Amino acid sequence: MVLVRRIMIGASLRRGAARRVIATFILCSILLSGCTNPIGPPKPAANLAVDIDQINAGEPVNFDARSSTSPEGTVITEYAWDFDDGAETTTSQGLTSHVFEEPGTYGVTVRVTNDLGGSDSASWTIHVNAYPEISLSVPSLTKVGKFVTLDANASHDPDGGLLLWAWSLDWLDSDGDGDASNEVDSTESSITLMMNESGEMEGTLTITDDMEASTSRHFSLNVTTRTWRVVWEETRVSYTWDGYLEQGNTWAVIHEPGEGGRLLEVNATLTLAMDFLLQLPQDNFTLKLAVPTSAWNEEHATSQEDPTKEPKAYLDRQEMNSVPDGERTYDADDRDQLRMLLLDETVGRYGQGNWTWQVTADQSDPDWIDEVDPDEGNDWVLEVEFVILTPRITEVV
């Protein structure tokens, strides 16, 4: 109105320029909204800006129409918003915010109206991305030693985006840093794994689309142990050592009998050679055994059962450990684990570890008829037999 009044004053002052003023007035009306409209009230000029126009469903967008203008002397009194998703609102300030719940493309419009009833509108297009949808097939129950398939192949993006899969399996430490839950273990859409351990296994699948919108799903599967039938089988293992010892000398051997089994019996015989029938007095050797882990030490001297027989020393032990029941079933994740468990049972540990056998020539040169022993030392033979129980483990399927 101010502008119009000024133009009219100019026209009255310079009458000769009246035609030019009228032409300017018409041009102004055509080119500028805000100039006096010959048909309606003076119009504002709507202007719309947004803080983001590419969002994911459920995210807000801030709309700003405060840079809209209205001709001098008028003020914008109303901003009417149409978000194109069915929602509308009216504000007196040029700011609002709206959350788009559904994916799609929306033409958001603001219509600004001034106090004289003039109005103008501006639009902005908002793209709302759909989150990927997870379709996951995981067995809820499986068994150690079985393969399981975790299949998310049917997952999809409603608006057709390319998908990336990321599996975090809390029981697999793919990067080997000791923490099984801090890495992506697979980026395949479907994975097949051998389950090596029993328990409640948990994981998370995350699918991300080409707009970096991610959807995650937590899952778990119960892995049960395997069942095994155990039968203990008896085996006999023999060792024979021999040698020649002079008086005061000692021979020794260290070995570990019954590895992979449970020791049940041991039977050792040390036999000395006789130079003559009815040789008197006899040589005398000592047989010693030491099993430190069982704090077991024994010592036996040779003697003759009758004068015609070779001198011998015996070491004999039965029922070193308890004999397991005929057949039993056990639950365990794997065969080796169960074997170790069985062999480590306290009722079966006696005699485990190193055995030291020692033969000492205490008296290999005894006085006899001519104060001469025809053999200053003696030949000896040590025969040892073990009875060992070994677990035969078969899976009960």
Q: Which of residues 194-253 bind Ca ion (CB under 5 A)?
A: 209
From residue 249 to residue 288, what is the string marking binding to Ca ion with x (rule CB under 5 A)? ----------------------------------x-----
CB of 131 to Ca ion, least distance (A): 6
CB of 42 to Ca ion, least distance (A): 45
Taking CB under 5 A as the criterion, the residue among 180, 237, 290, 301 binding Ca ion is 180
Give whichever of 308 and 318 is closer to Ca ion, judged by the CB atom: 308
Determine if 177 is a binding residue for Ca ion (CB under 5 A): yes
Give whichever of 162 and 341 is closer to Ca ion, judged by the CB atom: 162
Determine if 373 is a binding residue for Ca ion (CB under 5 A): yes
Count CB atoms within 10 A of the CB of residue 24: 14
| Tokens encoding 36 | 């006096």
Taking CB under 5 A as the criterion, the residue among 34, 42, 44, 161 binding Ca ion is 161
Determine if 130 is a binding residue for Ca ion (CB under 5 A): yes
Give whichever of 223 and 266 is closer to Ca ion, judged by the CB atom: 223
Closest C-alpha among 137, 128, 78, 130 to residue 107? 128
Q: Beta 377-396 vs 226-246: how paired, if at all?
A: antiparallel
Give whichever of 41 and 104 is closer to Ca ion, judged by the CB atom: 104
Determine if 129 is a binding residue for Ca ion (CB under 5 A): yes
Q: Which of the stretches 262-270, 284-292, 310-318, 371-379 binds Ca ion when contact is defined by CB under 5 A? A: 371-379
CA 256 remoteness from chain centre: 39
Taking CB under 5 A as the criterion, the residue among 84, 120, 185, 334 binding Ca ion is 185
Determine if 159 is a binding residue for Ca ion (CB under 5 A): yes
Q: Which amino acid is at 310?
A: E
Q: Which of the stretches 22-30, 63-71, 301-309, 374-382 binds Ca ion when contact is defined by CB under 5 A? A: 374-382
Burial of 76 (0-12, 13-18, 19+ CB in 10 A): buried
Give the span between the Cα atoms of 155 and 142, in whole angstroms. Answer: 23
Count CB atoms within 10 A of the CB of residue 341: 12
- The terminus-to-terminus CA distance of the chain in angstroms comes to 96
Give the span between the Cα atoms of 152 and 206, in whole angstroms. Answer: 10
**DSSP letters for 290-351:** EEGGGTEEEEEE-B-SSTTS--EEEEEE--SSPPPPSEEEEEES-HHHHHHHHHT-GGG-TT
Give whichever of 48 and 245 is closer to Ca ion, judged by the CB atom: 245
Determine if 173 is a binding residue for Ca ion (CB under 5 A): yes
Give the span between the Cα atoms of 176 and 168, in whole angstroms. Answer: 14
Determine if 182 is a binding residue for Ca ion (CB under 5 A): yes
Under the rule (CB under 5 A), what is the footprint of Ca ion?
Answer: 129-130, 157, 159, 161, 169, 172-173, 175, 177, 179-180, 182-183, 185, 209, 283, 364, 373, 375, 378
